[in-house]
Structure 1
């Protein structure tokens, strides 16, 4: 009986450790995505910028508090960063970057149509490069990386710096 209880305690402990490890990895990827998006804002050039760099989120992100905390303190080209939740696909003119987490991916075709011809950088959590995203996150060898489609950037009048291009998986 004692062996059986010890085995159950050990099994539960291992399961909890594995769950915590998986959460830590997911959390680290989420944090890296925010850092990448901040750097996309720094290393992509827009033909015209407003008084702030606006990052819109289309869908639900897991830790919006972290996004707000990190980005509210940052500036790009001496302009504050603003975070905006996108509820509808109208009036997107003030937005520079739209991040589409997995939860917003099913509407990506509508989002791409709503932003067509506008200088809005579409960044996706899923690999949607072939469907019109300019930048998509991918995980390779347990590392978060990103694909960048230069022609998608050029089509909307955006340019990536050489440093950003060196880090990207170019498509």
Structure 2
């Protein structure tokens, strides 16, 4: 699958049905051989990945990817720096600190990550809620991860995860679907 804009819940089938590999922001375009903006929320058949030995992928995913990427320039340090900054500052501040325009940042980021910088930052913040959630009151979690208040956090969490944070933590999640 390309980059996900919302959470997906999958059923586990007998044997391997999905392989998920999380890549450093800015490196996905080299791995998949095309701009990631075209792949957001889409499935990419393994046979379409350039240079990937599909027969060995499940046994040694790291080795297969290393072999497929040998000799390729992998990653964009500017995009990786932007991704790091977006966890702490706004899109405008990120562009300013990297000495590029917001428009250029949006284009680079969308091509390399598959999401706009703003959407990426929203997902990062929801991940921070998940990491912090069991350790405090929801209002405290909201302010700790940078939301204006608990209701903004809950609305964004529900939009991206399909359920409010309390339901997610309690295990009440949307119905899973088969992968693919």
State the TM bucket, normalised to the shorter chain: under 0.3
TM-score, L = length of structure 2: 0.21
Q: Work out which of the two has the higher radius of gyration on C-alpha atoms and give 1 or 2.
A: 1
Higher RCO (C-alpha 8 Å, min separation 6): 2
